[in-house]
């Protein structure tokens, strides 16, 4: 029990990191896009938990809403909309996939080499930095909102224009001619 209270967050990390990687493997290996999408959902939710463990509560919840809710429903709708009855006789991977696999492994090896030679030191671990606005203790959402509407106001407005453009683009593309 003492072990759990001392290392609970770390154990949660290992559990959900394994879930995230397993879900990602499912996305690229499963034949049916429907199973792939459900596997992707597992990854999204596991990554949301990893965010929560790094005191990013707002981003974690946004991840669940936007990815687990919006984007996932969009994918499922499209999978059901397109007709995939000819799927079983098609090959899963391109001919170049062994080369791509070698490339991905080489990429991982490169990253591993790079980061085994790079020490980050201990984290500053001031979680209150994510929960304060001008010295006052508030919640994480309030701190993020304050930062969004003061430091990042222009990018925020540009993001809203971007979403409008994306929406119009998606409607025009999906329209029947």
Other Cβ atoms less than 10 A from the Cβ of 38: the count is 17
Distance CA 134, CA 147 (A): 11
Q: Is 115 in the site for another protein (CB under 8 A)?
A: yes
Q: Is 38 in the site for another protein (CB under 8 A)?
A: no
Task: Identify the sign of the CA torsion 18, 24, 28, 30.
Answer: positive
Given 15, 80, 107, 153, the residue binding another protein (CB under 8 A): 107
Distance CA 53, CA 59 (A): 11
Residue with Cβ nearer another protein (104 or 136): 104
Residues 126-145 binding another protein (CB under 8 A) are 126-127, 129-130, 143-144
Number of residues that bind another protein (CB under 8 A): 90
Q: Is 167 in the site for another protein (CB under 8 A)?
A: yes
Distance CA 133, CA 51 (A): 21
Q: Is 51 in the site for another protein (CB under 8 A)?
A: yes
Given 15, 21, 136, 153, the residue binding another protein (CB under 8 A): 21
């Amino acid at each position: 029990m003492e072990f759990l209270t001392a290392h609970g967050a770390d154990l949660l990390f290992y559990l959900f990191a394994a879930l995230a990687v397993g879900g990602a493997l499912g996305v690229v290996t499963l034949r049916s896009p429907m199973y792939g999408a459900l596997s992707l959902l597992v990854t999204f939710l596991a990554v949301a938990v990893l965010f929560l463990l790094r005191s990013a509560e707002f981003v974690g919840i946004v991840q669940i809403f936007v990815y687990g809710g919006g984007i996932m429903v969009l994918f499922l709708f499209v999978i059901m909309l397109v007709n995939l009855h000819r799927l079983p006789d098609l090959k899963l991977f391109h001919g170049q996939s062994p080369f791509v696999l070698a490339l991905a492994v080489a990429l991982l090896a490169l990253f591993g080499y790079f980061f085994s030679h790079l020490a980050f030191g201990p984290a500053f671990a001031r979680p209150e930095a994510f929960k304060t606005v001008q010295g006052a203790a508030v919640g994480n959402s309030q701190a993020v909102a304050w930062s969004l509407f003061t430091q990042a106001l222009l990018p925020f407005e540009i993001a809203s224009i971007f979403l409008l453009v994306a929406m119009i683009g998606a409607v025009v593309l999906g329209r029947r001619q």
